[in-house]
Amino acid sequence: MTDTTRFTGHAALITGAARGIGAATAARLAEEGARVLLTDADPDAAARTAGALRARGLTVRARACDVTDRAAVEAAVAYAVETFGTLDVLVNNAYACSPDAPRFEDEPDDSWARDLDATLTGAYRCCRAALPHLAASGHGAIVSVGSVNGVQDFGNHAYSAAKAGLASLTRTLAGHAGPRGVRVNLVVPGTVRTTAWEGRDAELAAVRRLYPLGRVGEPADIAAAVAFLASRDAAWVTGATLVVDGGLTAVHAGFRQAVRAAGDAPR
Give the pLDDT score at 265: 61
Residue 159 bears catalytic tag = yes
Rounded to two decimals, what is the model's pTM? 0.95
Give the pLDDT score at 129: 98
Give the pLDDT score at 62: 98
- Helix (H, G, I), strand (E, B), or coil: what is residue 141? strand
Report how far Cα 205 is from the mean position of its chain's Cα atoms: 23
Q: Which of 79, 95, 124, 159 is catalytic?
A: 159
Rg of the Cα trace of the chain?
Answer: 19
- Helix (H, G, I), strand (E, B), or coil: what is residue 51? helix
What sign for the dihedral angle of Cα 9, 24, 75, 89? positive
Residue ranges in the chain modelled with pLDDT below 70: 1-3, 265-267
Give the pLDDT score at 260: 80
Give the pLDDT score at 23: 98
Residues constituting the chain: 267
Give the pLDDT score at 262: 80
Q: Residue 183, Cβ neighbours under 10 Å: how many?
A: 24
Q: Smallest Cα–Cα separation from 162: which of 150, 152, 173, 151?
A: 150
Domains and CATH numbers, the chain: 11-202+218-251 (3.40.50.720)
